[in-house]
Structure 1
Amino acid sequence: MKRYLLFVLRIAVAVSLVLNTGCWSSNEIEDLSVYVGLALDVAQESKFEQGIEKQGASYPKHNMLTATVQIVPPVTGKGQKQGGTSSEQATTYINEKLTGDSLIQIFRQFALRRDRPLIGHHLKVIVVSSELAKRYSLEQIFDFVLRDNDIRPSCLVLVSHRNAFESLSTSEPGEIPAIYLAGLVKNRYRSNKIIPPVSLIKLDSRMQSGSSFLLQNVITSENEHKFSGAGIFKGSTKKWIGELNEFDLEGLSWFSFDVIGGAVKTYAHEGYTITYEPKRSNSKIIPKVQGDDISFHIKVSSEGSLMEDWSFPEIPSSEEYMRELEKLFEKQVNKQIQQVLYKMQHVYRVDVGGFNEQLRIKYPKVWNRVKEDWDETFSSIPITYEVDMNITDFGSSND
């Protein structure tokens, strides 16, 4: 019996040795250039490119866009990057850019200046400048990116208010801008100025649907970055046509996204600051059809805390006073909704609030009749709204 068990054990060990062999086609990470960020801008040749072209190092192309890749150098020793000088050893990333008219050709050109090929398996974020997206459709700009098997479809897509390459730079020691930007979307539970993240696969889906959509906008100043508003992309052209500011996004979030954080600030009659923090919210976009007439009604309800009141040193117990504050907060949210609806219908004439989806679900026949020119139809549709705010507590303070 013991001999039999020993024989079985030997066979099991032999099989495990065969199954646990390494991948014959693997590439060591030290032999690759792993890029985590990609910025796409209107063509602007670097001094390096201008210099080498004067020496005849060029190929037939039109300068249409500039691609900046953010590479994380492999670590070979404690606190050192492979091949780095003493000044380079403290660098946590390297930004390199090339210009051309074909993104895949640009990527292949990097093989002429880097001894390690680019690998996009860990790409975290793609930032496209609004100026580039104004000139060319996102279908053109992202055609190669959507075809490339190296790039994961979960990659975050953002739009930059100015040059996209600026968003991949920082003066913060040890920080990698691409990873920093990808992490900002996790703060949605703290702010209703952040839209649900748009990944590469979601972007492709929205472009295929033909509907207008938003991309989170990132702005840069002094090598520091901030999410601020959202870029608007026309469904028929897939081009950037304008943007919503932070105040607009707050209004849009009340009826288009789940408000799971943030703050509503307004002022009491005496001019003192009062602030409400939503804890729970619910919204409905209700389509109504009568003959050929289409209209929408928005219902928003929220429960939350009175988190700041500069008009009273202590927590008030008056029910009448609390109802008065609720009306003030409702007025503020109404103002936010009114402003964003005005911009959607009369400034940009696009539906980026999901009204089309609600009409499609409830009245599919009507939707099939109007979907071809929906943005234009939407711009003249009557929309009413009502807001109900309910203060349920005063934070951690007691009466």
Structure 2
Amino acid sequence: MLARRVILAWGAAAILLLQTGCWSSKEIENLSVYVGVGLDVAERNEFEQSIDAQGGHYPKKNLVTATVQIVPGSGGSTKKESGSSAPSGQTFLNEQLTGDSLFQIFRQFAVRRSRPLIGHHLKVIVVSDQLARKYGMDQLLDFILRDNDIRPSTLIVVSHGKANQTLSSKDPSEVPAFYLRGLMQNSYRTNKILKPMSLAKLDAKMQSNSSFMLQNVLTSDSEHKLSGAGVFNGKTKKLIGTLNQTDLEGISWITGTARAGPLKTYDPRTGQTIVYEIHSSESKIIPTIRNGEVSFHVKMKTGGQFMEDWSIADNKPTEKNMKHLQQWFEEEADKQINEVIQKLQKEIRADVVGFGDQVRIKYPRQWKKLKDNWDETFAEARITYDFKLNLEGYGSITE
């Protein structure tokens, strides 16, 4: 019995010796975990200017200012360090550096923070519209796309104004990077929010030279709102135009991605508000090529219910009233669709909806000739459509 115990003890000891360990690990208390990145046109803060004046500069051009948002639990606390911005009681701190290489900027933080940055938990990247008009997204995000520390699920948005302001908050208990990511997950509640664009999806768009959209964020007094989208050219990867909230509603009909949210119009008899709630939508884009000319027909339909009525008119669920309501809501959706098609074709001249994908699928040979200048072809293509709205009910109101 004793011999067996000795053998088991030696066996257990031998097994322990064969186990691998985290010999190269670094404790999180010794790292600065950043969850948000903001990219702006270069603007050195007072700290950088003072350090440069003392001879602390290094060879670089001032092209971009990067803001990193560091969260509590990393670096021991959110104690304010030189050149950072962390008001008293804030649960995060923002630090900025300026240069002409994001990789160099991120490594430069090592000479001013006792605990180096780590990007495993990066949630969102905010690029200012001003910077996005000057440089392509492939240039700005090249280092980030190559960095194995950063997850490809990180989301990208464009800010109307400074990105560092988008990473600010009046609520000391709120981490703006988490807040922004949470806002973008609300697309299941309204058709005014784009499906979140991750690094992985954006990289695929840029590799295919397809024009694309990024969700736009507006900021006022450190409060934020998602509103519309920025449109980026597939060749230059630069910001070339913007879409408003109504435009995104029109795009959701064309792409069949509208799953929730209101469609509001006005009763022509009274001028009062009437509202339809979206339950579902479907879309089919049908391309045609004849004699070298490209055209499209889009079939769209939606189902939902009559949800709100400010009108004093008789809108009881009779067959006649149902037809009137469907017609008025269809006319409003038709207006949204027509306006966004006109804007994409005549003003922005970029296909961010996916018309080109349907040509590629149905006409693969012709697509090879069209793809290099697809946006120009799309801008001249004839687009027709029909939209059908099915009013399924009147909410919970009963007679």
TM over 0.5: yes
Larger mean CA deviation between 365-374 and 207-216 belongs to 365-374
CA shift for structure 1 position 132: 0.7
* 8 A contact 1:195–1:257 mirrored in 2: no
What letter matches 1:320 in structure 2? K
CA shift for structure 1 position 290: 2.0
What letter matches 2:370 in structure 1? V
Change (3 A) 1:378 1:313: closer
CA shift for structure 1 position 327: 0.5
CA shift for structure 1 position 315: 6.5
CA shift for structure 1 position 18: 5.0
What letter matches 2:261 in structure 1? G
CA shift for structure 1 position 396: 1.9
* 8 A contact 2:31–2:74 mirrored in 1: no
- The aligned residue for residue 128 of structure 1 is 127
SS in 2 for 1:183: helix
2: distance between equivalents of 1:169 and 1:201? 26
CA shift for structure 1 position 108: 1.2
Per-residue displacement from partner, 1:284-333 (whole Å, max 9, x unpaired)?
11112223121101111111011001124886131110110000000000
Per-residue displacement from partner, 1:100-130 (whole Å, max 9, x unpaired)?
1111111111111100000000000000111
- The aligned residue for residue 238 of structure 2 is 239
Instruction: Give the TM-score normalised by structure 1.
Output: 0.93
What letter matches 2:53 in structure 1? K
CA shift for structure 1 position 370: 1.3
- The aligned residue for residue 330 of structure 1 is 330
2: distance between equivalents of 1:195 and 1:57? 43
* 8 A contact 2:32–2:74 mirrored in 1: no
CA shift for structure 1 position 81: 2.9
2: distance between equivalents of 1:5 and 1:310? 86
What letter matches 1:335 in structure 2? K
What letter matches 1:44 in structure 2? E
2:355 counterpart of 1:359:
no
* 8 A contact 2:40–2:163 mirrored in 1: yes
SS in 2 for 1:40: strand
- The aligned residue for residue 144 of structure 1 is 143
- The aligned residue for residue 295 of structure 1 is 295
* 8 A contact 2:71–2:78 mirrored in 1: no
2: distance between equivalents of 1:57 and 1:75? 27
Q: Pairwise mapping of residues 377-396 of structure 1 onto structure 2 (< 5 A)?
A: 377-396=377-396
2: distance between equivalents of 1:292 and 1:88? 62
SS in 1 for 2:57: coil
- The aligned residue for residue 375 of structure 2 is 375
2: distance between equivalents of 1:44 and 1:214? 26
2: distance between equivalents of 1:64 and 1:15? 57
What letter matches 1:309 in structure 2? D
What letter matches 2:135 in structure 1? Y
Q: Pairwise mapping of residues 115-264 of structure 1 onto structure 2 (< 5 A)?
A: 115-264=114-263
* 8 A contact 1:81–1:89 mirrored in 2: no
* 8 A contact 1:32–1:118 mirrored in 2: yes
1: distance between equivalents of 2:11 and 2:261? 58
* 8 A contact 1:315–1:397 mirrored in 2: no
* 8 A contact 1:229–1:249 mirrored in 2: yes
* 8 A contact 1:81–1:88 mirrored in 2: no
Per-residue displacement from partner, 1:200-235 (whole Å, max 9, x unpaired)?
111111001011000001110010011100000000
- The aligned residue for residue 341 of structure 2 is 341
SS in 2 for 1:242: strand
What letter matches 2:325 in structure 1? L
2: distance between equivalents of 1:165 and 1:112? 22
CA shift for structure 1 position 20: 6.5
What letter matches 2:331 in structure 1? K
What letter matches 1:104 in structure 2? F
CA shift for structure 1 position 75: 6.9
What letter matches 1:386 in structure 2? D
2: distance between equivalents of 1:169 and 1:49? 20
Per-residue displacement from partner, 1:317-372 (whole Å, max 9, x unpaired)?
31110110000000000000001000110001111110000111111112112111
2: distance between equivalents of 1:226 and 1:133? 19
CA shift for structure 1 position 90: 2.1
2: distance between equivalents of 1:12 and 1:369? 69
2: distance between equivalents of 1:16 and 1:224? 56
What letter matches 1:331 in structure 2? E
SS in 2 for 1:63: coil
SS in 1 for 2:120: coil
Per-residue displacement from partner, 1:250-272 (whole Å, max 9, x unpaired)?
00111125111111000001101
Change (3 A) 1:63 1:4: same
1: distance between equivalents of 2:230 and 2:80? 38
CA shift for structure 1 position 16: 6.6
SS in 2 for 1:99: strand
* 8 A contact 2:80–2:93 mirrored in 1: no
2: distance between equivalents of 1:377 and 1:5? 82
Per-residue displacement from partner, 1:31-79 (whole Å, max 9, x unpaired)?
0000000000000000111111111111111100000000013279xxx
CA shift for structure 1 position 6: 6.3
What letter matches 1:49 in structure 2? E
> How well do the aligned residues superpose, as a CA RMSD in angstroms?
2.2
Change (3 A) 1:319 1:11: farther
